[in-house]
Amino acid sequence: MSPSLASQDPLHSALLERIEACYRQAEKTLNRHFPRPAVSLRMRGQSAGAAHLQENRLRFNPVLLAENPDAFLTEVVPHEVAHLLVWHCYGKVAPHGPQWQAMMRQVFGLEPRTRHRFDVASVAPKTFAYRCQCRDHQLTVRRHNKVQRQQTRYLCRACGAALQLSE
């Protein structure tokens, strides 16, 4: 994300400032320098953020940031920054393993949680109601379209019956 874009939106500026603050805190605590990542607000769906380790890049969900700014800046940003810090310190390790958990606790003073707790109703994908012999199912748009084009059919794991579009 370019600095000019960030300066136009206070929330984007706050995001960049929080990332920088996390890096300064890590550098002070770990007594070493870390390269700053590229940052984008191009994440969609129900994930709040992602760290692309080898590219030294962070992506964040702008909708969830706008809907939950305080929690997002307090929890999501350190979570994703910790992934990059662990990559720089240890290389390839388990994504939410002991090194990441220690980074969250020791550097950021946060309880390491692997998932956010945001309401995702506004970013949840549209689904279609289907039925088998024993229950209702929700299929994604992609799966629904495959059924409609007769490219596939889905079976219930419980009863084995083919799913049918609910009327």
Whether 111 is a known active-site residue: answer: no
Q: What are phi and psi of 49, to 5 degrees?
A: -165, 170
Please give the Cα distance from 16 to 13 (Å, whole number). 5
Please tell me which residue in 17, 20, 67, 80 is annotated as part of the active site.
Answer: 80
Catalytically annotated residues: 80
